[in-house]
Structure 1
């Protein structure tokens, strides 16, 4: 048996572009430390209609943004202003609290623009939940990339084979972008107790079993898993070690329910740090059924 659980993501319209959410899911809160997994797009934004995610808060987690196409501009309460382009990584450690916005760059707004990528949230181990907030940008050329059996693999975060990503992490984690040519194959690293494969495109098989596009396959622990392609295809592989149960409310994640309540009060009463040169913000919702990175 190769696939322990197969998830069909929930599709959301986020105002001109789509997001497919695989985590959290019924009976599956996390894979390793990954607590949110969103596939953004592929979508085309018409001229003069960009993405505008107003300032909003996070605690006790890290956000990881990775794009296949398009661009976003990140701003945060530390004073960071950083664009992200395809193949690059933005890692933001919320720790004891941070506020950020994500918007289309000015240079993209007047023309038709695309957006396509993956946004994940990583729960921090308990001992690091209240660490100081930070932000680091990693250019594409700093990420290890290699070829194997017709597949081109980019190590976004973590460690595998003889490769280590420069992205600073707080617990064992794996995050790979794998592009396969027709008849190529790749063996999923087996050094992590929890692993999953997400099919960005069609044309993929897992141990010979066809995987439809936009599917999140939780893999059986301990098994050798081979991803192969019947045509040019792409997938994301994630994994890692569990960090324990987490509470979730809106954009807040923590191991302690009372910490969530504190963060709600802090945001309601405007005690979080603000962003330089931005006056907009997303008010605290009265009722939340799920967290949403884009609300």
Structure 2
């Protein structure tokens, strides 16, 4: 079956610690696409010299975060002691497992300057049997990410496998994430097989069958659908997806888990500072006290 569209998600405007984002996942009618359970499209946002990105330390569990920038720089620090400035084209892959905390801020050397940030941040849920693995953090340079140059498109294989190219990013369940920039009108094809996949349009337009989609729309396809999408010249989109889990995941605040009880314990540990802390950074974001 070709281009069996399940639904279309319209992104919603949100405020993330003073930074405007477009929230795509989760959505009321679609909580996950494969193992992807969260997607924020950051910006593009311009900070004048008086403002900066300040996402203070906050906790995660039961997931991996994936940060991928198109413009700007973000300083990541975490409770493992990692300190990494991510730049466009790189991948920050942080696996929370049983628990990690991190902060994301404008780099120190850019304070007082005008800066721009544009990128995507995903949460990828971990399979039930890997929810409590040891936390880890990896940064992958732009040169490590496989690239394909097609007639009409430049494609980055950020995670997973695409057209014989395999990303070095270690995922914990079968998934794919490719970044596509159309240099001219381009027909993108993908056999999803057992995957549930979606195409998110960052800029420009794409045509699926007789329907045209534009900026900040996510087209979710039925699992097993063969995809043939016409991407207009100058457009920018990403394909994400993977195998779905046999049981739904709970998501609350910054936690993902198969158990609400584990999330409640993690919340209380965070608020009582028993949870792993970012060294030298005490401006923690408190967890909500509402019912999980």
TM range (shorter): over 0.9
2:233 to 213, 231, 243: 231
2:279 maps to 276
Q: Distance in 2 between matches of 1:78 and 1:140?
A: 23
Which has more strand, going by share of residues? 2
Q: Is 1:121–2:132 an aligned residue pair?
A: no
1:292 maps to none
Equivalent residue runs for 1:136-151 within 5 Å: 136-151=138-153
Number of equivalent positions: 289
User: TM-score scaled to structure 1, two decimals?
Assistant: 0.94
User: TM-score scaled to structure 2, two decimals?
Assistant: 0.95
Q: Which moved more, 1:225-234 or 1:255-264?
A: 225-234
Q: Which moved more, 1:120-129 or 1:280-289?
A: 280-289
**Counterpart contact for 2:188–2:228, Cα < 8 Å:** yes
What secondary structure sits across from 2:203 in the alignment? coil
Cα deviation, residue 16, structure 1? 4.4
Q: Is 1:257–2:266 an aligned residue pair?
A: no
With over 3 angstroms needed to count, the CA separation of the structure-2 counterparts of 1:106 and 1:189, relative to structure 1, is: farther
What secondary structure sits across from 2:58 in the alignment? strand
Q: Distance in 2 between matches of 1:18 and 1:188?
A: 32
Unaligned segments of structure 1, at least 5 residues? 290-295
Cα deviation, residue 229, structure 1? 2.5
2:173 maps to 171
**Counterpart contact for 1:77–1:99, Cα < 8 Å:** yes
1:293 maps to none
1:131 maps to 133
Equivalent residue runs for 1:73-88 within 5 Å: 73-88=75-90
**Counterpart contact for 1:173–1:240, Cα < 8 Å:** yes
Deviations 1:2-41 (A, max 9, x none): 3210010111133543211111112211011100011110
Q: Distance in 2 between matches of 1:271 and 1:130?
A: 16
2:51 maps to 49
Q: Distance in 2 between matches of 1:260 and 1:208?
A: 44
Q: Distance in 1 between matches of 2:127 and 2:220?
A: 22
Cα deviation, residue 203, structure 1? 2.6
Q: CA RMSD in A?
A: 1.5
Q: Distance in 1 between matches of 2:51 and 2:194?
A: 42
Q: Distance in 1 between matches of 2:179 and 2:212?
A: 19
**Counterpart contact for 1:67–1:85, Cα < 8 Å:** yes
Cα deviation, residue 226, structure 1? 1.8
